[in-house]
């Protein structure tokens, strides 16, 4: 089964309270995990995302879609990147746990629907 492992983390100003050692350890962990997942063939896709200050959110306000700057101005943690892996649920949770142990930021593991399967009745 395919799973999307979403990496949430501090970007921009929210990293100001992190030490250079922590940032180096976090970056090394992410690069090592990415390399290992690609070498094992588990990664289907994965990308880093731009800083949320470059994002926009479209909300339905006043009866119409309205774009605004930034994803969620009221939060410190934002979606920073993702991996799509083809593996078991236990393995996807293991991957996320290894990264969270270092970054201390949450990760969400969500199954991807198999759109080739017939719809359930």
In a domain, 118, yes or no: no
In a domain, 83, yes or no: yes
User: Residue 98 maps to which CATH number?
Assistant: 3.30.70.1060
Residue 94 has pLDDT above 60, yes or no: yes
Full domain range(s) for residue 71: 2-111
pLDDT digits (tens, 9 = 90+) for 4-40: 999 887 666 567 788 889 889 988 998 999 999 999 9
pTM exceeding 0.75: yes
In a domain, 63, yes or no: yes
Percent of the chain with pLDDT over 70: 85
In a domain, 117, yes or no: no
In a domain, 102, yes or no: yes
In a domain, 116, yes or no: no
Residues 88-111 have a mean pLDDT of 90
Cβ burial, residue 70 (10 Å; 0-12/13-18/19+): middle
pLDDT digits (tens, 9 = 90+) for 50-71: 777 777 778 788 888 888 776 5
Q: Domain total for the chain?
A: 1
What are the CA-CA distances from residue 112 to residues 2, 5, 88 (Å)? Answer: 6, 10, 12
């Amino acid at each position: 089964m395919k799973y999307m492992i979403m990496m949430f983390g501090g970007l921009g100003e929210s990293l100001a309270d992190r030490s250079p050692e922590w940032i180096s350890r976090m970056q090394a962990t992410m690069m090592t995990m990415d390399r290992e997942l690609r070498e094992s063939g588990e990664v289907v896709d994965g990308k880093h995302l731009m800083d949320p200050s470059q994002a926009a959110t479209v909300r339905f306000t006043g009866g119409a879609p309205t774009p605004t700057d930034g994803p969620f101005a009221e939060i410190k943690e934002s979606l920073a990147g993702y991996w799509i892996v083809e593996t078991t649920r236990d393995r996807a949770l293991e991957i996320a746990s290894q990264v969270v142990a270092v970054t201390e930021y949450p990760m969400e593991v969500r199954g991807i629907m198999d759109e080739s399967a017939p719809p359930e009745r």
